Amino acid sequence: MDGSATSLGNAGTGTLVSLPATLIRGDGIGPEVTEATLRVLDAVGASFDWDEQVGGVTALESEGNPLPDGTVESIRRTRLALKGPLTTPVGTGFRSVNVALRREFALFANVRPVKSMVPGLRYDDVDIVLVRENTEGLYVGFEITIPVGDDRKAVAQSTAIVTRLGCERAVRFAFEYAIAHGRQRVTICHKANILKAVSGLFLDVGREVAEEYKGRIDVDDVIVDACAMKLVLDPSQFDVIVTTNMFGDILSDLMAGLIGGLGMAPGANIGEDVALFEAVHGSAPDIAGQGIANPTALILAACMMLDHVDEQGKATRIRTALEETIREGAQTTRDLGGNASTFEFADAVSRRLS
């Protein structure tokens, strides 16, 4: 991998030979979907030298910290990580582990592709990538509560922080991603009509960056509420969407709903030096250990990881096998209309790779 992790498929490794990577199996259904994903990676011949670490509740129980130093140092060393879903401990004063990882490694671009695979849904041709600024906005956590009289929480205030640098690197990433993946258009999503400072800056910078790609990538912009409506009415209107942190968080879940839910949605967190790949769904403790979780999201995240290290051929083979397995329907998990277990589903995908 070269010195920059800023674009998927830019690592320049050529043939993958036991590339060092950090593996975090996660909490709840995490260990199950991670094991299923590893089986598929083995079947396609993807060889990573995994350094297994812990995070979330599992790490809190074993090491007294949901984000241990060892996990952070491992990611810093390998610069590449695959992560199952983590649970942030409730009522302990700990902030989100996922947010902490993004801030620790300045993972400024969150990439969430959605593509139709599940037959019988309202739309069968969804193919959109959302690029979300990943470290700024309201999610910086600058919050206070102000007591008034006897009410200790009479006023609550959150401050959104948006910088020109943050806007520029997220938007530029979206345009570079579009070029690298043969996309035709980038849509800048904002709320500059109301949030004239923070969202206005994002839109202004987005338009400035877009000028550099004139003639190569088409560009338009849309207000976030109109974007949500248009996604539901006709998602084919969109190709690549780039937006701010909170808007991206909301819209990416909406987009996942168009293709069958969060069980179908992978994510990549990209920084200058580190790339972390994950399923975007939660740890689902209510079904943990039952062997019924859908591993598709993490398998697709592993495909994004393969893309990142220039193993697009293996990634394409996995995506094809995965889609064929889902569309055939004989060995799918319950959320996809079948009765297969997590590992039966993974094994069905793996057989198509042998």
Q: E-assigned strands of the chain?
A: 19-24, 48-53, 80-83, 109-115, 127-133, 137-148, 151-161, 185-190, 218-223, 240-243, 266-270, 275-279
- Catalytic annotation, pick one of 27, 139, 213, 221: 139
Query: Strand pairing partners for 218?
Result: 185
- Catalytic annotation, pick one of 177, 191, 213, 307: 191
Q: Helices (DSSP H) in 259-331: which residue ranges?
A: 296-308, 312-328
Residues 52, 62 contacting (CB under 8 angstroms): no
Residue 213: active-site member: no
Residue 123: active-site member: no
* Alpha-carbon span 278 to 348, nearest angstrom: 22
Task: Output the CA–CA distances (angstroms, integers) from residue 44 to 6, 16, 40, in the order listed.
Answer: 25, 12, 6
Task: Output the CA–CA distances (angstroms, integers) from residue 345 to 139, 142, 232, in the order listed.
Answer: 36, 43, 30
- Catalytic annotation, pick one of 42, 49, 225, 234: 225
Residue 27: active-site member: no
- Catalytic annotation, pick one of 249, 307, 310, 314: 249
Residue 139: active-site member: yes
Residues belonging to the active site? 139, 191, 225, 249
